């Protein structure tokens, strides 16, 4: 399977963000990618984290962003892990990642763990999701997570037990925390669940109020980094062999050896 990861910096100009995302998607598709990833909140990102800004730019399943990606998916027969967008469902606002194919929306994941660090508190903007998800596409089971979920290994393990062979993390991971924790956490989640870990992060932007780390990457089930971006906008592509997951799990069957009956003392 050929995977393409798009790393962009999103601002408050939704039209420009979407144009840029579509432009990079076309480039990645031209390189032969079958599965494309975009970062968290790729179509709109409020610089001050104001809920009202997200409400104004929120979409539902039939919104402009989903429609535009669906057009590309149909035209090129590819799968999008559509980063995440602000999703409005009735009066509730979620941070939601969509899986889009030529046949429509295959599934969506609403971010469960809402980020809190220093003056940032996503719980003042979004409501948390409740359910992990694993989607069948391209003959592979793919589990979704968003950014801060990365610090909670339980959701990754649950999705691995649900059959995931690829785990996704779409992110707006800050530069400060990213330098210390981004790669160690990604490698750990790949190694402990024996999966391919695909991570799409927002890029670094000089002068921005919030600076992101970039370094989107593809990690194999042994913890090796197959491809890694720098901090700038761009994309990366790699071929992954899903057969590697079963090969490693057969040699070291971690998921089968879990001691489920451990009790807290």
Positions annotated as catalytic residues are 40, 111, 147
3-class state of residue 170 by DSSP: strand
Torsion of CA 144, 148, 149, 151, to 10 degrees: 140
Listed in sequence order, the residues at least 6 apart from 226 whose beta carbon sits closer than 8 Å to its beta carbon are 217, 218, 219, 220, 238, 240
Cα 10 from Cα 171, distance rounded (Å): 12
Residue 37: strand, helix, or coil: strand
Q: Judge whether 145 and 162 are in contact, CB under 8 Å.
A: no
List the alpha helices (DSSP H) in the chain: 14-30, 51-57, 64-76, 153-161, 175-193, 243-251, 254-257
Phi, psi dihedrals of residue 142, rounded to the nearest 5°: -125, 125
Nearest to 197 by CA among 163, 165, 173: 165
The two beta strands, 217-219 and 116-117, are unpaired
Residue with tokens 């090796």: 224
Torsion of CA 136, 139, 141, 142, to 10 degrees: -80
Going 109 to 31 to 173 to 166, the CA torsion angle's sign is: positive
């Amino acid at each position: 399977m050929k995977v393409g990861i798009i790393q962009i910096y999103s601002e408050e100009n939704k039209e420009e963000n979407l144009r840029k995302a579509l432009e990079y998607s076309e480039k990645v598709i031209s390189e032969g990618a079958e599965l494309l990833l975009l970062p968290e909140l790729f179509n709109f990102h409020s610089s001050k984290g104001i809920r009202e800004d997200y409400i104004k730019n929120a979409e539902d399943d039939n919104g402009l962003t989903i429609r535009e990606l669906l057009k590309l998916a149909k035209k090129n027969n590819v799968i999008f892990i559509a980063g995440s967008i602000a999703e409005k469902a009735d009066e509730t606002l979620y941070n939601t990642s969509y899986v889009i194919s030529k046949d429509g929306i295959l599934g969506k994941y609403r971010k469960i763990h809402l980020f809190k660090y220093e003056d940032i508190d996503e719980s003042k903007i979004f409501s948390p999701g409740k359910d992990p998800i694993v989607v069948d596409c391209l003959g592979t089971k793919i589990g979704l997570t968003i950014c801060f979920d990365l610090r909670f290994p339980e959701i990754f393990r649950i999705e691995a037990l649900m059959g995931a062979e690829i785990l996704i993390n779409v992110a707006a991971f800050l530069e400060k925390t990213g330098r210390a924790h981004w790669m160690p956490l990604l490698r750990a989640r790949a190694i402990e669940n024996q999966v391919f870990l695909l991570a799409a992060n927002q890029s670094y932007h000089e002068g921005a109020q919030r600076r992101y780390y970039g370094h989107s990457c593809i990690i194999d089930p042994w913890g090796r980094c197959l491809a890694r971006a720098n901090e700038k906008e761009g994309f990366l592509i790699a071929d992954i062999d899903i057969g590697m997951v079963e090969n490693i799990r057969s040699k070291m069957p971690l998921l089968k050896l879990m001691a489920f009956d451990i009790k807290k003392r």
